[in-house]
Chain A
Amino acid sequence: MENALLLSDEQLALQDTAAAFLAEFANARKPRDEDASLWRRISELGWPAVQVPEDLGGLAMGAVELALLMEEMGRRLIRSPYFASVVLAQTALLEAGSAAARERFLPELASGEVSATLILAPGLVWAPDAIGIECRREGDGWVMNGEAAQVLDDGNAAMAFVAARTEDGIGLFHVSAHAAGVERSPLDVWDLTRPQCAWRFREVRLAADARIDAPGKLDAGLARTVSLAALQLAAEQVGGAAACLDMTVAYTKERVQFGRPVASFQAVKHRCAQMMVKLETARSAVRGVAASVARLQDADALACEVAVARVLASDAYRYCAQEAVQLHGGVGFTWEYDPQLHFKRAQWGSQWLGPASRWRERVATQLLDLA
């Protein structure tokens, strides 16, 4: 009998390889024009293919392996389409897409040749009532109108999978970024590692096969997509929190005041220890939930389990980033030192795919209202 929370040799090797590669090639402070070469290298390593089935050019690994990669990428704060294209768009295709759509798009997304993004209700939650983009039938095809104010896209996504309102409910559509009537404008964001664009759709004409959801799978599939993506965001947040703790411990061991390293003061030690408690608990939760998601078919059960990882990782990252700023003292407030990068990424991540309060309420509903 295997303990799902202990990593196998293959998983440990994947983790080591990822850590070594990213230590050498990834850095949130590299200039923007190096982003494409990082993405190319990541694609050569096969990372965009981890969760894609083998017959579609993928590696057919599971949520645990994806989470290990996300953790390492979160640690290095990389600027890459990985989150939007792999964690969001691919997952939506895998969970809600038709067989035809999966065969059409997954091979090129798995190869990293192109990247995609996902547009749901604002903040990337599964809330059908909050979907504002509309798609009406016209002839054999469709016409899309509306706008998404904030989309996770560095400006290079080749396509978006868009949840839109139709005459008979919500549908998921494939829209090329270069289709006539699609306007994309970059946003001036605080977290520069997570570029965003606004997307506007004005009378965008789509072919009949642009609708890509599998019949009967849309609602559960996109709800599941949000849960699975939230789990991977949690994994990324664990990596970020770990980086905050590591840099804080290293800095406080070097920084001398009153004739001794500030790391020797209990007021400092206890804060770092509490960072570790939150970090390691969140890491246990991410590992445990990742090992179990394949078994959790019921959407509410999945959401409640994911809430454990999501709430703890989001809180842990914000706490660790905040403490990293504080315990670095004056330099922690500067542009030059890294705590501010994590502080911004932590805040970013706390608001997408549903804030912690939304996940807590889902748990409360299950425990208290439906008992």
Chain B
Amino acid sequence: MDATKDSMNETAFRAEVAAWLARELKGEFACLRHRGGPGDEEAFPALRKDWERKLAEGGWVGASWPQEHGGRGLPLELQLAFHEEYVRAGGPGRMGHIGETLLAPTLIELGTPEQQRRFLPGIREGREFWCQGYSEPGAGSDLAAITTRCWQDGDVWRVQGQKVWTSLAHESDWIFVIARSTPGSVGREGLTFLLMPLDQPGIEIQPIRQMTGEAEFNAVFFDGAATDAGCIVGKPGEGWRVAMALLGFERGASTLGQQMHFVHEMQLVVDAAIAIGTAFDPAIRERIADAWIGLRALRHNALRMLAGNDGGVRPESLMYKYAWSNWHRDLGQLAMDVLGAAGDVRSDDDTVRRLQQVFFFSRADTIYAGTNEIQLNIIAERALAMPR
């Protein structure tokens, strides 16, 4: 079924990716090199959407999806190879990743054929951008405590309530929302998973300023906002299962591309240490070596833990997100210690700016998609079967 798996040679594939990027990531797109990653999301959003369409034309959006859904069925090794070449060429931070790596795999697994036909092409062609309506002011780690309501109203479903920490809502066309459809239900019961257009009178988006100074995420207010009845994924009342399947993708392969940017960040730390002279500090040397060792191990983790997960997540894979997010947070601290007092001054220098972004933004890595504390609970209770 999957010709790529057997015939594609990794070296030839890398050459294909590198050649495409060398040909396309220039001219009007040249200014995007190494820009727009986490903590730098306000850089050139309109141009980055154009870039998403360019990527799509090249067949690089949804390349990991199965061929019957318009993807290329790339195996994990080639996905990794793509991301590595993308970073090597300076490919900008993605804007379509929430649709491509979170919603699309969920629709492929749990959506109806009609939903797949309606939504996958917009994602794959870089035309429609998505955001994630999960957290609420009173439902963070305890996600099942959500109080946002939804109900059927003739041909449409309506939503009332508030979501928060909604990344890129202000740049998105659609939002997927988990809301309570059974009045009086508590916890995981009585929830429904809806797909909603953002551009409508019943939705208001307010930016939230982060410690990075930017406002990548938002509060989203719903006041009777509507969507078609055909936009419910799974059955009404069974939204928790859909939400958790999606969260599984979020804690799995969805961040692979983002992690490959770590290779670039690691090199910036090394370059800075050499340039500034902190490379001679024995304590800094040891931490740089540790960071490099950890980075290599993350790649080994990805290859071992994300491959062949079709039959459900294996126990050891439950520590994947904890491992990379904490490595990244440590790298941010190391970067600032390498920069020294100069790190306290906002800089237009590409390296310094990027390292400052890593330092601040990586503080979010250990909070979103399940905090460190929740991840440790999941590992202990699900992988090690320790009692609640």
Chain A residues in contact with chain B, CB under 8 A? 1, 3-6, 245, 249, 252-253, 260-261, 263-264, 266, 268-270, 272-274, 276-277, 280-285, 287-289, 305, 307-308, 311-312, 357, 360-361, 363-364, 367-369, 371
- B313 adjacent to chain A (CB < 8 Å): no
From B279, B307, B379, A273 is in contact (CB under 8 Å) with: B379
Can you report 18 A-B residue pairs in the complex whose CB atoms are below 8 A from each other?
A: A3-B303, A253-B386, A261-B387, A266-B377, A273-B319, A273-B322, A273-B375, A273-B376, A273-B377, A277-B379, A284-B301, A288-B299, A308-B300, A360-B286, A360-B293, A363-B292, A364-B288, A368-B270
The 4 closest A-B pairs by CB, nearest first: A288-B300, A269-B380, A273-B379, A360-B289
A3-B76, A269-B380, A363-B293 in contact; A276/B386 too (CB < 8 A)?
no
Cα(A5)–Cα(B301), bound, Å: 9
- B19 adjacent to chain A (CB < 8 Å): no
Chain A residues with Cβ below 8 Å from B381 are 269
A1-B77, A5-B307, A269-B377 in contact; A277/B288 too (CB < 8 A)?
no
**Residues B300 and A311 in contact, CB atoms below 8 Å apart:** no
A1-B5, A1-B75, A3-B77 in contact; A311/B384 too (CB < 8 A)?
no
Closest to A357 in B: B286
**Residues A276 and B319 in contact, CB atoms below 8 Å apart:** yes
**Residues A276 and B307 in contact, CB atoms below 8 Å apart:** no
Chain B residues with Cβ below 8 Å from A369 are 279
**Residues A368 and B387 in contact, CB atoms below 8 Å apart:** no
Closest to A4 in B: B303
- B33 adjacent to chain A (CB < 8 Å): no
- B179 adjacent to chain A (CB < 8 Å): no
Chain B residues with Cβ below 8 Å from A268 are 386
**Residues A368 and B274 in contact, CB atoms below 8 Å apart:** yes
Chain B residues in contact with chain A, CB under 8 A? 5-6, 8, 10, 75-78, 270, 273-274, 279, 285-286, 288-290, 292-294, 296-297, 299-301, 303-305, 307-308, 316, 319, 322-323, 373, 375-377, 379-381, 383-388
Q: Give chain B nearest CB distance to A284 CB in angstroms.
A: 4
A1-B78, A264-B388, A270-B373 in contact; A288/B290 too (CB < 8 A)?
no
From B75, B274, B293, A3 is in contact (CB under 8 Å) with: B75
Q: Beyond A5-B304, A281-B319, A284-B303: 16 further Cβ-contacts under 8 Å? A: A1-B75, A1-B78, A253-B386, A269-B376, A270-B380, A273-B319, A273-B379, A274-B376, A280-B316, A284-B300, A285-B297, A307-B293, A308-B296, A311-B290, A360-B286, A368-B288
Chain B residues with Cβ below 8 Å from A261 are 387
Cα(A270)–Cα(B376), bound, Å: 5
Chain A residues with Cβ below 8 Å from B376 are 269-270, 273-274
A3-B77, A264-B388, A368-B274 in contact; A276/B300 too (CB < 8 A)?
no
Chain B residues with Cβ below 8 Å from A368 are 270, 273-274, 279, 285, 288
**Residues B6 and A263 in contact, CB atoms below 8 Å apart:** no
Cα(A150)–Cα(B357), bound, Å: 50
Q: Give chain B nearest CB distance to A237 CB in angstroms.
A: 14
Q: Give chain B nearest CB distance to A283 CB in angstroms.
A: 8
Q: Give chain B nearest CB distance to A64 CB in angstroms.
A: 12
Cα(A260)–Cα(B78), bound, Å: 48
A252-B386, A269-B377 in contact; A6/B286 too (CB < 8 A)?
no
Cα(A270)–Cα(B384), bound, Å: 11
**Residues A249 and B297 in contact, CB atoms below 8 Å apart:** no
From A269, A274, A364, B289 is in contact (CB under 8 Å) with: A364
**Residues A281 and B297 in contact, CB atoms below 8 Å apart:** yes
**Residues A367 and B292 in contact, CB atoms below 8 Å apart:** yes
Chain A residues with Cβ below 8 Å from B380 are 269-270, 272-273
Q: Give chain A nearest CB distance to B329 CB in angstroms.
A: 14
Q: Give chain A nearest CB distance to B387 CB in angstroms.
A: 4
Q: Give chain B nearest CB distance to A115 CB in angstroms.
A: 32
**Residues B383 and A276 in contact, CB atoms below 8 Å apart:** yes
